[in-house]
Amino acid sequence: MAYKALIYTVEDSVATITLNRPDCYNALNRQMVEELLEAVRICGEDQAVRVVVLMGAGRAFCAGGDVRELLNQTGAIAPHVKRLLAPLHTVISCICRMSKPVIAGVGGVAAGAGMGLAMACDLAVAATSARFTMAYTKLGLPPDAGSSYFLPRLVGLRRAMELTFTNRVLTADEAEEWGLINRVVPDTEFVAAVYTLANELAAGPALAVGRAKRLFCMSDHASLETQMENEAKLIALSGQTADFCEGMRAFAEKRAPTFNPFPHIDKP
């Protein structure tokens, strides 16, 4: 597929999806959302991809929905919003359900649905200049893009309500302190830090990482006993893999393991 609103590349088993509307801070319009869904689906299916990086071009990660596009929908806002959110919410679901780790590289602003996209990723690295804001109620809207699901799980209910009701802007350091992101790095080191993490994960045991991600997703709706049974099933399956054998040998031989670069990937 020829992308117009994003850039899609794969290098050394790391797929990079770059939101590419820098003139409007990578605001999400219908074309970008539809292309993003296609790219995310490809990442999930491509056996050569072990890690996915989501970034934004220019000075922003993503400023949320394209308000200008919304203003042009006079008299037909509700159908437009539904057409935008249906694929966007599928994107969020695909990110969460794919067996591969997804890293958000947040440079600049992440607002509204852009903040939702960052929260949906498994890990997040932010540049010092990054800023985070929900921004929805400022426009007279409640949250979307899974924000009402992820935000209280990451920062707690009271902080989630504060961020949503007041549209408080968090600095990168505050976002790290609150648990929204994993780490903050200087702007000059940002891209290198994102790919250092991505390459580290790409060299790891893909099946084990994917199954660990799957377990965390299951834990949202499972009892303790059910979750422990899920753990038992997946660890038993993993104990039969070449990666497990290599990990055990490497441990015994006191060396770094070399995991299978192209294992079978679990389906969600």
192 within domain boundaries: yes
State residue 75's pLDDT score: 63
Same domain (yes/no): 234, 113:
no
User: Is residue 66 among the annotated active site residues?
Assistant: no
124 within domain boundaries: yes
CA distance to 73, 155, 171, 172, 188, per residue, from 162 (Å): 31, 10, 15, 17, 32
268 within domain boundaries: no
DSSP assignment of 254-268 = TS-----SSPPPPP-
Same domain (yes/no): 28, 157:
yes
State residue 229's pLDDT score: 94
State residue 246's pLDDT score: 84
Rounded to whole angstroms, how far apart are CA atoms 86 and 88?
A: 6
State residue 139's pLDDT score: 85
Q: Choose the catalytic residue: 89, 122, 173, 220.
A: 89
Structural domain of 154: 6-202
Q: What is the pTM of this model?
A: 0.92
User: Is residue 89 among the annotated active site residues?
Assistant: yes
**CB 22 within 8 Å of CB 58:** yes
Q: Are strands 131-133 and 170-171 parallel, antiparallel or unpaired?
A: antiparallel
pLDDT in tens, the chain (268 residues): 789 999 999 999 999 999 999 999 999 999 999 999 999 999 999 999 999 999 999 999 999 988 777 666 666 666 767 778 899 999 999 999 999 999 999 999 999 999 999 999 999 999 999 999 999 998 888 999 999 999 999 999 999 999 999 999 999 999 999 999 999 999 999 999 999 999 999 999 999 999 999 999 989 889 999 999 999 999 898 888 888 888 888 888 888 888 877 666 665 5
1 within domain boundaries: no
264 within domain boundaries: no
Beta strand ranges found along the chain (DSSP E):
6-11, 14-19, 51-56, 60-62, 102-106, 109-111, 123-127, 131-133, 170-171, 183-185
Same domain (yes/no): 130, 211:
no
In total, how many domains does the chain have? 2
Q: Choose the catalytic residue: 12, 66, 80, 144.
A: 144
State residue 164's pLDDT score: 97
**CB 233 within 8 Å of CB 266:** no
263 within domain boundaries: no
CATH number for the domain that contains residue 58:
3.90.226.10
Domain boundary among 143, 173, 202: 202
State residue 29's pLDDT score: 92
262 within domain boundaries: no
Same domain (yes/no): 121, 236:
no
Domain boundary among 202, 223, 244: 202
25 within domain boundaries: yes
Same domain (yes/no): 162, 247:
no
Same domain (yes/no): 38, 153:
yes
Same domain (yes/no): 138, 77:
yes
Segment (H or E) for 37: helix 30-45
Same domain (yes/no): 188, 245:
no
Same domain (yes/no): 10, 45:
yes
Report DSSP state, residue 27. -
